[in-house]
Chains A and B, each alone.
Chain A
Amino acid sequence: MSEGERTDAESAADGLYERIAAYEGRSAATAGVGKDPVNLPMIRHWCEAMGDAHPAYEGPGAVAPPTMLQAWTMGGLSGHGDRSEAYDELFALLDGAGYTSVVATDCEQEYLRPLRPGDAITFDAVIESVSPRKTTKLGTGHFVTTRMDVRADGELAGTHRFRILKYAPAGRPSKTDRRPPEAAAAAPRRPRPVVNRDNAGFWEGVAAHRLLIQRCGDCASLRLPWLPGCAECGSPEWDTVEASGAGTVYSYVVMHHPPFPAFDPPYAVGLIELAEGVRMISNVVGVPYDKVRIGMPVRLEFLRVDEELELPVFRAGGEG
């Protein structure tokens, strides 16, 4: 339920994030030179691979497909001699922390002028941002975003923002099964809730099979999730009321991708409106994921996830 907070806290604890975030704003490549000038053979090979028959990319007066922008800056098999020391250091820090794999996630390109055969390519790039630690299907790691200016014969021809995930592989799925096997000996466990002094009472309630809503000691507004102060009047005084357990599906999403460890998509995540008027995010059980509907009545129950963890969930169907 608090994946982001948990991972941020871990990153802060090991000090890695502070060190890698210091690279934001530093150069990723300075005065890089494209290994080949823009040329017809590479354009043709690209169009063959993409199945692209656009007439602008062939014959006399041909221009390069704009989406080739990054291709002209690639190091190829002989590598990136143009990368800055800062970029290499950042990668070395991430490699050293076990985040040895790379996958690209985002690419944003603007094309300012066409690239024509004979254009000499040069480029500069800056490390725009480094994310806190994130957990994805592939594994845990950090996103690194760079922004590159690409020039043709010295004139700005395009910009290229690129985001990669440097990550530690989560595992080695078999070729025949793209999803982690549910019954594996060391099945991944659902994330643990973050329990702190502000919400400990909520989890004590769950342990006693009571869903406790906070009530402001001054204005009597109800609130869930638990917070140290009242969002209505700011009062730090509070007590609790026990939810009756009746509710309706206020909204929901169906998770298909990415499949996080310990979760088996597709599954529905519901925003449940309790009879008391507050809402909470939870699982809707007792009904297939594609049969969950807004307005559906649901009833609180407690799901034992494993020997340590119990969670409030909501069962659809029937009168509670």
Chain B
Amino acid sequence: MKPGEELPPLTIPITRTLIVAGAVASRDYQDVHHDAELAREKGSPDIFMNILTTNGLVGRYITDHFGPGAVLRRVAIRLGAPNYPGDTMTLTGTVTEVAGDTATVRVVGANDLGHHVTGTVTVTVEVAP
């Protein structure tokens, strides 16, 4: 790994099932993440992905790439355009800094509306013995 290295993109279909499964697995029962009617009353066109699921997907993107020895040290994300059912999110990443076994990666998750998530992940990659 070296600065400037680009990670292969990961495309994730944003299904209703993923949104609801992610919300429940993160114990987030806010209605906007599972009840479309109540989501609309709150000004959203449909249910949308919760931030904990986005966080989990960003972490997965990084550890998928760096392999079994990858350990997440820091994940900082900002949400922009929501992930609605039927959309597709493509995660891309660029290594911005490497110090020993630790890399910093800039991550962007884009959907049809724009950037759903932008963030920075710090990951340590332990070499298998």
Contacts and interface: CB of A to CB of B under 8 A. Distances in A.
Given A67-B72, A107-B55, A138 B26 contact: no
B27 A71 contact: yes
Contact of A56 (B12, B50, B52, B71): B71
A52 B18 CA distance: 13
Interface stretch (B1-9, B58-66, B98-106): B58-66
Interface stretch (A42-50, A197-205, A278-286, A300-308): A42-50
A172 B43 CA distance: 4
Contact of B26 (A46, A66, A139, A178): A46
Contact of B27 (A48, A52, A76): A76
Interface stretch (A108-116, A185-193, A236-244): A108-116
B27 A178 contact: no
A153 B115 CA distance: 38
Interface string B37-49: 0001111111000
A141 to B, nearest CB: 11
A11 interface: no
A1 interface: no
Interface string A78-98: 000000000000000000000
Given A49-B21, A107-B76, A169 B43 contact: yes
A79 B16 CA distance: 24
A125 B8 CA distance: 37
B74 A74 contact: no
Interface centre among A55, A56, A170 (most CB of B within 10 A): A56
Interface of B: 12, 18, 21-22, 24-30, 32, 36, 40-46, 50-53, 55-60, 63-64, 68, 70-81, 84, 113-115
A165 B99 CA distance: 35
Interface string A28-60: 000000000000001001101111111110000
A13 interface: no
Contact of A109 (B36, B53, B75): B75
B40 to A, nearest CB: 6
Contacts of A61: none
Contact of B51 (A54, A107, A139): A107
Nearest to B63: A54
B29 A77 contact: yes
B42 A256 contact: no
A101 interface: yes
A102 B53 CA distance: 16
A258 B45 contact: no
A66 B75 contact: yes
A173 interface: yes
A175 B40 contact: yes
A110 B73 contact: yes
Contacts of A66: 59, 71-73, 75
Interface in A240-273: 256-258
Nearest to B84: A178
Contacts of A109: 55, 74-76
